[in-house]
Structure 1
């Protein structure tokens, strides 16, 4: 059946259509091939209705018009090259009942609670790793706990959007929650460090899916002008949960057991799973033959290569300077192989797959490259603060797990408030550019102030200063997603959104590894100098304090030795802070060259690539 041509500008609009047109995406554009018989619409912020054939037209992606325009899958070369967010003709649209106020609020409450669980599980181990390592007698392997979590979460970030396009947002989100419950259950019951690390890897996969799918669903349901407010509220949930994660872990560990923290995670995961299963209403899943065909078109080679590249790089960064020397053939081999495989991945994506995992043309769009780069550099700092500042407070001020979590709380709270405020201001045209520039600048000021302080500064001053980089990160974490989505067509949301989270996560993984290596090497050198002039008994205490700083605050340790150990920890972590500063300066410099008036649309760039290939 032939597709009807859209009517003229003055066509009547029914009440039902008018209601659906309120949920427009003002940043989306149809490609010229989607409407072969009608003029390409143009976008003007502030309008509410779709007008075809007019210089003042806006593209509104409504249920009715999308059904007309995508009644059958396109067979053009452009569509096959650009099918980043639509491998099948099935559209991921909400049930109409979601637009009722009750359904609307119930849906978003469930998504926000899912985000809260993801952020909580991400940092719950940061204050209890030493206790876990002591129980398993595996102090040399404890660093793999956060590493494997972030590694699995990062690997899933890059493919979650593609999987969601095939099986539907609803199915993938609920399956992620099932994995979350399973990972928490195995973590709570683990009897060895190997089982515990594997369970944290499963939890990392789950949290990566929960975070990305929640953001994608929100982006599907909300217009781009309103999206900043919702993403700001989402980041409040994520920031608060990131901040209270160390506190919750420390509280359970000090009062009950570290296993109780994961039992609580499991219980909350079950609640979220049942709630979303009952409340969330999205599009029907694709037909069996449709998703089987889509599975056959997945980029398995590219996925395998990028996962191997990330894994080898992280292994090299973690064993270097700790288990093995940086000059060790194994360390060098892992890092070199990771870099080589990254190059192989680029070649694979350019040449082999019909539907690439990461379309390389995305990296020819200036604003996308800048958004990804700023996110990566700021992510290095954010996760390093979350994981190493509790160590600083424990070593320098003798804080227990719960108190160390409390002292890091200002960072997460400031991030939450800032992200919500950023989302509110994001509705103003072009505001995301200013926020993306302001964020790294504020973070750099805060990190510089913290690095310049001495170990004798009170813990309250440090805790208060943590709010400064938190404010900056709140600006970045919302504006980078809006910057990426505003630059691309709505069909690509499921590709660019996970990429934003991917670069945030991979920045965190590399930041924790790199700054952690700086911290460990500096600490080892300083403690080695201290132990030279100490007795054999003191040397034994110093060796044990390398792995568990709480040893320095035992009753039998002298005050002078305790101060030396605390100073060694303070200087090593401050050295890492000094290295964070140039990363943030670079992020700020990159944000200054954001294109404020892009002349070339991403789909036009993609068409050029397709034509050159043909």
Structure 2
């Protein structure tokens, strides 16, 4: 047992229990969207309201993205254990509410509330790992946690289909109850309540309000922009302008806040800024594959929905494996910069290959191309979280770790409607040419991956500017957590 771990006086059995509890809690939230995606057609047929199809996803993504930053900061004040258990309980209660929804409006509202718990659950586990383990050790444990995302992407659609077809779509939500109870029980017993003693218990209300309004405007604009045929361009521009004004007010509020929810001085650190950008880009790239590879498989190659899902499994497995391998390499070498460069090089190769797909592409080639994309993208979850945790003191570990997940969420949120716009624009221009529907869709998807090549290239270039601070085998590079900040550790 090294000095850093013994500083917390946590036994090996307690460490195992903590990791198991964190993984179960993370799995509940990570499974959610992939399970719901499979169940939504049945939900729509039962509750009606096809025109609101995307809104349960949008309301969840909006509230969870806000919760990531907000509760990452509040956990500094009230303790990690308090916030993560509150997050699980919130998620479980709101899951039950979603299961009892009688119309689409109720489901949209309840999903928004559920997203609060979901945002807590996808960020707090990584913060806890950052506090329990030394910078050098974090790599392998971050990789283990990050593998939950790959596992959920594989299990989610399968579980969603089985549950929906056998006992009904409402049980997609009810199943979270026993899993949540297990996670709470494990963490109540094992997890110390880390908190920072020198943080003033002052809530940044101005920051919370302006941040929420800014993101709400952005999310609504991007959701409406997915289809310009049904949404007013003036309405979309108005929402974007509103969002920009709110972001400006948010920055103004944060400069004056005693305990800002997102301290602006963090962006003065080049490692934080570059890691934020790289997380944004990597998330956008992987979601391009997750959304458009199955679409290509079904609509161009002619595979069934089941077989198109099977094509995705190797990519998601490779994502999980790459996350773990990257973590192990970081733990052994204490370095991460070359891995950051390698991530975007491998991802770029996958994107370039996907940009070559055509009506004659075989399913096997599609599996190979998407698997390469998964190998590169999977490294993201480990590399950039560790790089920023290593660049700051324990006092900032909560907010910087939450910020990395925040920029991953934003990357996916911004990329999805932009890719959708590229498809719609491409299909509109190609339709004027004498091409079949399949050929038009193929060219449209090719254009998405051609645009994604630019993002991958930018990721490679930016990675060269990532400053590397060797990871310590003992304590944080800047500041060890004071002993009085760990409550109930024994």
Moved over 6 A (4+): 284-287, 601-604
1:177 corresponding residue in structure 2 = 88
From the superposition, tell whether residues 394 and 176 of structure 1 become closer, same or farther in structure 2 (CA, over 3 Å).
farther
Corresponding residue of 2:211 = 306
Q: Which moved more, 1:191-200 or 1:438-447?
A: 191-200
Q: Which whole-Å CA distance do the structure 2 matches of 1:284 and 1:369 have between them? A: 26
Q: Counterpart of 2:355 in 1: which secondary structure?
A: helix
Corresponding position of 1:66: none
Structure 1 segment 510-589 matched on structure 2, within 5 A: 510-523=414-427, 564-589=436-461
Q: 2:370 aligns with which of 459, 466, 470?
A: 466
**1:426 is paired with a residue of what secondary structure?**
helix
Unaligned stretches of 5+ residues in structure 2: 471-475, 480-490
The 3-state SS of whatever aligns with 2:465 is: coil
Which residue does the alignment assign to 2:484?
Answer: none
- 5+ residue gaps, structure 1, are 1-18, 25-61, 64-95, 534-562, 605-614
Correspondences of 1:26-425 after superposition (within 5 Å) = 62=7, 96=9, 99-277=10-188, 279-283=189-193, 294=201, 297-320=202-225, 322=227, 328-350=233-255, 352-425=256-329
Note the C-alpha offset of 1:182. 2.2
State the 1:327 CA deviation. 6.6
Deviation of 1:333 after TM superposition, in Å, equals 0.7
Q: Report the alpha carbon displacement of residue 523 of structure 1 after superposing the two structures with TM.
A: 4.3
**Distance change (3 Å), C-alpha of 1:579 and 1:128:** farther
Contact 1:164 1:172 in 2 (8 A): yes
Say whether the 8 Å CA contact 1:349–1:357 is kept in structure 2.
yes
Q: 2:346 aligns with which of 442, 445, 450?
A: 442
| Bigger helix share | 2
Equivalent position to 1:426, from 317, 323, 330: 330
- Higher RCO (C-alpha 8 Å, min separation 6): 2
> Residue 106 and residue 408 in structure 1: after superposition, are their counterparts in 2 closer, same or farther (change >3 A)?
same
CA shift, 1:567, in A, is 4.1
- Tell me by how many angstroms 1:102 deviates: 2.0
1:475-528 deviation digits (Å, cap 9, x = unpaired): 2220101111111112110111001111111111111222123234444666x6
Shift in alpha-carbon separation, 1:187–1:110, aligned structure 2, 3 A: same
Following TM superposition, by how much is the alpha carbon of 1:413 offset from its aligned partner in structure 2, in angstroms? 0.9
| C-alpha distance 471-492 of structure 1, shift in aligned 2 (>3 A) | same
The answer for the alignment partner of 1:92 in structure 2 is: none
**Equivalent position to 2:5, from 23, 35, 57:** 23
Q: Is the 8 A contact 1:411 1:470 kept in 2?
A: yes
* Separation of aligned partners in 1, 2:440 and 2:110: 33
CA RMSD of aligned residues (A): 2.9
* Distance change (3 Å), C-alpha of 1:271 and 1:499: same
Contact 2:226 2:417 in 1 (8 A): no
TM-score normalised according to structure 2 size: 0.88
Q: Distance in 2 between matches of 1:252 and 1:398?
A: 26
Distance change >3 Å, CA 364–CA 107, structure 1 → 2: same
Matched positions, count? 474
Distance 1:497 1:379 in 2: 16
